[in-house]
Amino acid sequence: MSSPNLTPLEDALTRLLSEAPVVTGVETVALADSLGRVLAENHYVPADVPPADNSAVDGYALRKQDLRGDRAIPVSARIPAGEAPKALAPGTAARIFTGSEIPEGADSVVMQERVEVTDAGIIVQAEVTEGQNIRRQGQDLARGDLALAKGTQVRPHEMGLLASMGVARVAVLARLKVAILSTGDELVDPGTPLAPGQIYNSNRFTLIGLLTQAGCEVALCETLRDKREATRETLLRAAESADLIITSGGVSVGEEDHVRAVLEESGSLSLWRMAIKPGKPVAFGAIGGTPVLGLPGNPGSVLVTFLMVGLPYIRKRQGRNQKPPVGERIPADFSVTSTSVRREFVRARKEIRGSEPVVTPFPNQSSGILSSACWADGLAVVPENTTVSPGDLLTYYSFAELLS
């Protein structure tokens, strides 16, 4: 059942992703500095990897047809890795090492453990199959193939693959510059004593962490006081340097919710009452030509709305070829009855009971607390209007997957 007043997550994502311009800047970085960056161009393989057939083991390269019972075969050459081998003399074997190139004329490599070394040469003590222990030229990457596509986020193994193709510098998309604006007269930076009525600004730091982990550049961090003109001035200023403004708080319908009012007056705004819990009010709009994502104020809501709503949008803008998180289906170890049209993202842990995984929730799911998220290692989804009993399968997204 859906409610006419609440926006389903899928609808909000469809809208956000349809209005997500990819960053246009490209920079070239040293391969060693490319971790986490998004490739700005396709990488085609310039030459076969490996460049030649080579040995998978330490042993002896030979021609299978030269094997005659247990007759010794003389060893005519020694081929260390890194040297270009000469053709193998007929009827002989070559001492060879892992990674050494296979000499012309050899068709198999016998592991040294399968060989008896005598004065007359080697006696092979095992069956030999033609081609055994040979890593073929181009078996990793064949010349001309697309090795890595534009939009790939570079992980450690992509760095290695690029290196294996001889790439020293890589063109990557510019980092998305994000301004974090926290709203609220009650907010104080950590490091300052609290006066009555004040609380520490935690959302700023949650967002710095999330954005940094997502590969964004935090362009600006400011606290907006609950004043209309100051809010307008800061939003307009942030719009000049940022590709995206993320606000927290100030988007409910209270009279102190000036972000909403300023965007309506001086920019554009869609305010959604999202059908997710936590995280009802989420705003999306623009000011000074820069998109604005307005997250709720409650710390638990900031985390959940950033992960479920903000991150897919940010990835699209980063130019990443993204796959939606798949999660896992894990039996619940709890019961809950949802009579709500809001899909609930429960701060939860995957645990092993006996030998089976179960998903177990933090007892206090208030959107105002963060300790639940720190205890948790992911989010379990309680669908709309559902009764969950122990053993029922729930979708569980680990934070590791969501943030990968």
Number of shown-chain residues binding ligand AMP (CB under 6 A) = 18
Q: Give CA separation, 196 vs 255, 326, 369, in Å.
A: 22, 45, 19
Q: How far apart, in whole angstroms, are the C-alpha atoms of residue 378 and residue 328?
A: 11
What's the closest the beta carbon of residue 376 comes to Mg ion, in angstroms?
25
For the record, the structure tokens of 216 come out as 């964004």
Burial class (CB in 10 A: 0-12, 13-18, 19+), 58: middle
**CA 384 centroid distance within chain:** 28
For residue 282, what is the DSSP state?
E
For residue 153, what is the DSSP state?
B
Pick the closer one to Mg ion by CB: 151 or 249. Answer: 249
CB neighbour list of residue 149: distance below 8 Å, 6 or more residues apart: 39, 42, 43, 321
Q: How far apart, in whole angstroms, are the C-alpha atoms of residue 354 and residue 351?
A: 10
3-state secondary structure 36-60: CCEECCCEECCCCECCCCEECCCEE
Q: Is the peptide bond before 383 cis (omega within 30 degrees of 0)?
A: no
Q: Of the candidates 278, 296, 361, 378, which one interacts with ligand AMP according to CB under 6 A?
A: 296
Binding partner of residue 298 among ligand AMP, Mg ion, none, CB under 5 to 8 Å per kind? Answer: ligand AMP
Say whether residue 201 binds ligand AMP (CB under 6 A). Answer: yes
Pick the closer one to ligand AMP by CB: 183 or 372. Answer: 183
Say whether residue 319 binds ligand AMP (CB under 6 A). Answer: no
What's the closest the beta carbon of residue 297 comes to Mg ion, in angstroms?
5
Q: Of the candidates 8, 184, 215, 312, which one interacts with Mg ion according to CB under 5 A?
A: 184
Say whether residue 187 binds ligand AMP (CB under 6 A). Answer: yes
Q: Of the candidates 54, 108, 203, 234, which one interacts with ligand AMP according to CB under 6 A?
A: 203
**CA 82 centroid distance within chain:** 36
What's the closest the beta carbon of residue 249 comes to ligand AMP, in angstroms?
3
What are the φ/ψ torsions at residue 64 (nearest 5 degrees)?
-55, -40
With CB under 6 A as the contact rule, which of the stretches 31-39, 137-145, 184-192, 342-350 interacts with ligand AMP?
184-192
Say whether residue 294 binds ligand AMP (CB under 6 A). Answer: no
Q: Give CA separation, 348 vs 48, 362, 380, 396, in Å.
A: 47, 6, 6, 8
Number of shown-chain residues binding Mg ion (CB under 5 A) = 2
Pick the closer one to ligand AMP by CB: 183 or 365. Answer: 183
Q: Of the candidates 198, 202, 340, 395, which one interacts with ligand AMP according to CB under 6 A?
A: 202
Residues of this chain, 222-261, that bind ligand AMP according to CB under 6 A: 248-250, 252
Say whether residue 294 binds Mg ion (CB under 5 A). Answer: no
Pick the closer one to ligand AMP by CB: 133 or 298. Answer: 298
Q: Give CA separation, 391 vs 106, 334, 350, 358, in Å.
A: 60, 8, 13, 8
Say whether residue 249 binds Mg ion (CB under 5 A). Answer: yes
Q: Of the candidates 55, 100, 182, 318, which one interacts with ligand AMP according to CB under 6 A?
A: 182
Q: Which residue, 315, 318, 317, 247, is CA-closest to 284?
A: 247
Q: Which x/- pattern, by CB under 6 A, does the window 141-180 give for ligand AMP? A: ----------------------------------------
User: What is the binding site for ligand AMP (CB under 6 A)?
Assistant: 182-184, 186-187, 199, 201-204, 248-250, 252, 296-299
